[in-house]
Structure 1
């Protein structure tokens, strides 16, 4: 499916663009804020080709896409017109949900838009530090200066960037946020503190502060706001409220320029006088408190962070820790939280490798390869949702391995110094700015190796990879005995090669046969699970208990009828027995619409078996033997109209 088609289908299944308040994306997920989540067709979305899974957490409806989510997001935004949608739509819904949901939604909404460039800047800083540590560059050379400026610019001007995203999230004008953030890092103010202070506030307390300037006679405590996080977020929240207040009272004829003028004249001084100092003190206390708690027992803290990080990610709760970690790096110069969870992605990747090496299921092997590669680069959603979580035990084994890796990291006292890359690109983030590759850095290497090996070993030997197959895996395993598939319809036999649709006629969809129905009923050709039921009801996918994937496609191009003249008696995911009624359709009305009713019956996973033979009769009743599937250990069976029924399992 193309990105455009996938985006259109996703929008339809979440209840249409009219059900969407806002949508943005992170590295692997589309994050919708829906007006009514009950209107979304979650089961259909989960089974949509191109969607890994769906999560509902933190007040968000999250559609996990994978690495190509930016392309899908662009199409979603274009189709729904969300790129020009005003953010106050989100603000109208902000009072819904509990405090935790609102907080996570707030933080993710502010930080997710810059996550990609934040990681990029961190990677450049990290590799620059690596090149210095290896002696490939000197910190006085021009190459270093430019690379350092490239990587450091975003972090230095972080209040400017967050001013934009925070104002957008709070429903204000984003460019006002940029101006407020720019004022906080305005270079001329930093030179004011070079002279003697006018006087000192709060002398003899923890908050003792020299005063160098005043605003209208009010003392201003100058702080260093470059690389800060909390002050600009609070200032943006206040600015959005102030802007809306002025917008209500300022006449329309001068509103365009007078509202932003008044907003800036109120918010910027107030931020310097009150918001900035209080927020900075609070940030420092949060950072110091976090480190104090961590230092009580770094090993236990590392074990808990590592073991539960992937669980936090599944429910979106990790956003509650991300701003704390960023704040620690900006206020204290280092953070132990992101260090403690670094081994988790490698433990997950090791578990996927264990599944890949152990499973006898060919489809699971195929899925494991790209999930393993993505995991190496820190993108673990395909591994979690596609491989380990459905299997359950491999996910648990990866959490155990991640916990042990986190404990090792805590033992070595490893900390991260920049918001750097993911996966293998993250190692430079742990190089000490002054000491280089010290013992703590090598500790993260040891932790990753141990977590990866443990994830693999625990999953391979104790993950129950082949013992506890999920229904999906069972349906894709190869049958060990010959299987006969019955006819799902009553009618005349038509060789597949004579079907007018070349996709079916050439065998591109799989091998099989077609039936020209004389009765508008489709019954189950075997006992199993309905794995696919198209919204248009014209095509049904069923996987038998023996692992045979059967596609029954009623008519040619009948998808264009959009379900008209079709009645489904089952839904996707239902278990059925051979002979159960699946779908009814009106043969005459479909013909009147100008469509053929010839129905291909295809074995889509025929390559899993040794052979496939079709009946030689000219006409069949529903439940008559139609196709014989031979497993590799079967003796070839001559199929004729007389003996086909005799080979049924």
Structure 2
């Protein structure tokens, strides 16, 4: 199997113009992201005909090749062994600056900061779901217990599992921001921990009215930033830039002492007295706007978000919603956004499934059926880029299905206990009284997209006409 993967990567390297045309290679959950020097040297047809490739496209300054979850990690390892993924992070950043517009680069950088911390937030969401399931009165009743019978120490243990990541979220974000922007990650961790130091009034307690903010200079309110995102992100970004400038100016003999000292001193002062209050205020405005949209009457928010979310997946800017989901979980302990977007994901799977079952083309069937399965597991890129978007109408039918499912999810106020997992695996975020409704809205979204695609969205005649035109 490893030999097959090595052969695939070699073919891919040749198809994108050889090693000399590759500046660097990275990957996300499903895509191998190749920073190419000249996109005109890419042989698109050759890439799409390579075994295990489920689609490929150029976006945001990168050539993105879809392999699917799990497979992409193995391909990246083979690429590393062949020496095409060994560019330094600074070289990759310099190359990235040349490609994509300012908005695309900003979104890509935002995603680079948040993607590495998502796994722990996923785990936290699963812990929340499991705790919610196990502590339900009905479940406890199976064992002859009531909520009062649950030991206090066990409750404390579950709180350690579910609360830690959000309590120390600024440390995770500041660490990742320092890493992305070229600073020392360990300084980022310490700066983030300073923002949630127990000596500061706890943000949750201040929000509940149990504690009062500290007042400096007579007018600046200072609190801890447990669960906050923007203050740590901005502090990490500026802190990394400041540290890099210091290292250029501080003599090497003094660098070990002076640079960390000044970086932490200056950045904690700025973070607590300026960045924190300003960004926390902005954070509250963004959160309020999001909540207002999600609380729009008659399921309007679900209809809009469920329809358009997969359009944003095409552009790659959907990572920006990680910030919103984190804020929803931190503030309310639940995530209605997840419940809506998962319908759009299931719908794209339903559309791809219709294409796979309806077509007589063995090649398309072999692509569409596994792609639909991948979508039902929460990864839609193979279905979108490999099937639905290629024939356009299946993608549109998937959008309609997502809108219908999102409408129902919003109407019944379906809410997840976590984030980042959707569709089938997303069931783990609804292990409470919502689980049946969650399954129903996803099946409904997929069924609508499947039916519309079968009736109006695809035919082999359409496939033949498209191939002739191309």
Q: Which residue of 2 aligns with 1:154?
A: 165
Q: Which residue among 7, 12, 28 is the counterpart of 2:30?
A: 28
CA displacement at 1:405 relative to structure 2? 0.8
Supply the distance in 2 between the matched residues of 1:97 and 1:395 (Cα, whole angstroms): 25
Q: Which residue of 2 aligns with 1:456?
A: 450
1:312-323 correspondence runs (5 A): 312-323=312-323
1:138-149 correspondence runs (5 A): 140=151, 146=157, 149=160
Supply the distance in 1 between the matched residues of 2:421 and 2:332 (Cα, whole angstroms): 20
Q: Which residue of 2 aligns with 1:3?
A: 5
CA displacement at 1:288 relative to structure 2? 0.5
C-alpha contact (below 8 Å) 1:27/1:66 kept by paired residues: yes
Q: What TM-score comes out, normalization by structure 1 length?
A: 0.63
- Alignment CA distance shift 1:150-1:43 (3 Å): farther
Q: Is the deviation greater in 381-390 or in 337-346?
A: 381-390
- Which runs of 5 or more residues in structure 2 are unaligned? none
Residues 5-28 of structure 1 show CA distances to partners (whole Å, capped at 9, x for unaligned) of: 434444454455565555432210
Q: Which residue of 2 aligns with 1:170?
A: 181
C-alpha contact (below 8 Å) 2:335/2:419 kept by paired residues: no
CA displacement at 1:37 relative to structure 2? 3.6
Residues 540-578 of structure 1 show CA distances to partners (whole Å, capped at 9, x for unaligned) of: xxxxxxxxxxxxxxxxxxxxxxxxxxxxxxxxx99xxxx
1:235 aligns with 2:231: no
C-alpha contact (below 8 Å) 1:349/1:372 kept by paired residues: yes
1:633-644 correspondence runs (5 A): none
Q: Which residue among 44, 53, 56 is the counterpart of 1:51?
A: 53
Q: Which residue of 1 aligns with 2:359?
A: 359
SS in 2 for 1:221: strand
1:291-330 correspondence runs (5 A): 291-297=291-297, 299-330=299-330
CA displacement at 1:335 relative to structure 2? 3.8
Supply the distance in 2 between the matched residues of 1:378 and 1:47 (Cα, whole angstroms): 24
Supply the distance in 2 between the matched residues of 1:83 and 1:120 (Cα, whole angstroms): 30
- Alignment CA distance shift 1:58-1:191 (3 Å): closer
Residues 475-511 of structure 1 show CA distances to partners (whole Å, capped at 9, x for unaligned) of: xxxxxxxxxxxxxxxxxxxxxxxxxxxxxxxxxxxxx
Supply the distance in 1 between the matched residues of 2:84 and 2:290 (Cα, whole angstroms): 42
Residues 349-387 of structure 1 show CA distances to partners (whole Å, capped at 9, x for unaligned) of: 222332333222333333343223322211222222333
CA displacement at 1:239 relative to structure 2? 0.5
Q: Which residue among 126, 135, 143 is the counterpart of 2:139?
A: 135
SS in 1 for 2:183: coil
Supply the distance in 1 between the matched residues of 2:125 and 2:204 (Cα, whole angstroms): 30
Supply the distance in 2 between the matched residues of 1:358 and 1:39 (Cα, whole angstroms): 35
Supply the distance in 2 between the matched residues of 1:38 and 1:191 (Cα, whole angstroms): 54
CA displacement at 1:78 relative to structure 2? 4.4
Supply the distance in 1 between the matched residues of 2:184 and 2:275 (Cα, whole angstroms): 19
Q: Which residue of 2 aligns with 1:344?
A: 344
CA displacement at 1:181 relative to structure 2? 1.4
SS in 1 for 2:418: coil
Supply the distance in 1 between the matched residues of 2:402 and 2:114 (Cα, whole angstroms): 25
CA displacement at 1:269 relative to structure 2? 2.4
Aligned length: 455
- Alignment CA distance shift 1:130-1:95 (3 Å): farther
C-alpha contact (below 8 Å) 1:126/1:420 kept by paired residues: no
CA displacement at 1:30 relative to structure 2? 1.8
C-alpha contact (below 8 Å) 2:36/2:62 kept by paired residues: yes
CA displacement at 1:2 relative to structure 2? 2.9
Supply the distance in 2 between the matched residues of 1:121 and 1:50 (Cα, whole angstroms): 32
- Alignment CA distance shift 1:390-1:319 (3 Å): same
- Alignment CA distance shift 1:428-1:240 (3 Å): same
- Alignment CA distance shift 1:75-1:226 (3 Å): farther
Supply the distance in 1 between the matched residues of 2:244 and 2:298 (Cα, whole angstroms): 46
SS in 1 for 2:264: helix
- Alignment CA distance shift 1:181-1:32 (3 Å): farther
Q: Which residue of 1 aligns with 2:285?
A: 285
1:199-214 correspondence runs (5 A): 210-212=212-214
Q: Which residue of 1 aligns with 2:111?
A: 108
SS in 2 for 1:135: helix
Supply the distance in 2 between the matched residues of 1:23 and 1:273 (Cα, whole angstroms): 40
Supply the distance in 2 between the matched residues of 1:141 and 1:385 (Cα, whole angstroms): 50
Residues 590-649 of structure 1 show CA distances to partners (whole Å, capped at 9, x for unaligned) of: xxxxxxxxxxxxxxxxxxxxxxxxxxxxxxxxxxxxxxxxxxxxxxxxxxxxxxxxxxxx
Q: Which structure shows the higher strand fraction?
A: 1
Q: Which residue of 2 aligns with 1:437?
A: 433
- Alignment CA distance shift 1:109-1:15 (3 Å): farther
- Which runs of 5 or more residues in structure 1 are unaligned? 198-208, 475-528, 530-572, 575-649
C-alpha contact (below 8 Å) 1:284/1:331 kept by paired residues: no
Q: What TM-score comes out, normalization by structure 2 length?
A: 0.84
RMSD: 3.4
RCO (CA 8 Å, sep 6+): is it higher in 1 or 2? 2
Supply the distance in 2 between the matched residues of 1:99 and 1:272 (Cα, whole angstroms): 29
Residues 313-347 of structure 1 show CA distances to partners (whole Å, capped at 9, x for unaligned) of: 12213123332232232234444333321211221
- Alignment CA distance shift 1:333-1:183 (3 Å): same
- Alignment CA distance shift 1:46-1:114 (3 Å): farther
Q: Which structure shows the higher helix fraction?
A: 2
C-alpha contact (below 8 Å) 1:211/1:220 kept by paired residues: no
Supply the distance in 2 between the matched residues of 1:302 and 1:191 (Cα, whole angstroms): 34
Q: Is the deviation greater in 278-287 or in 366-375?
A: 366-375
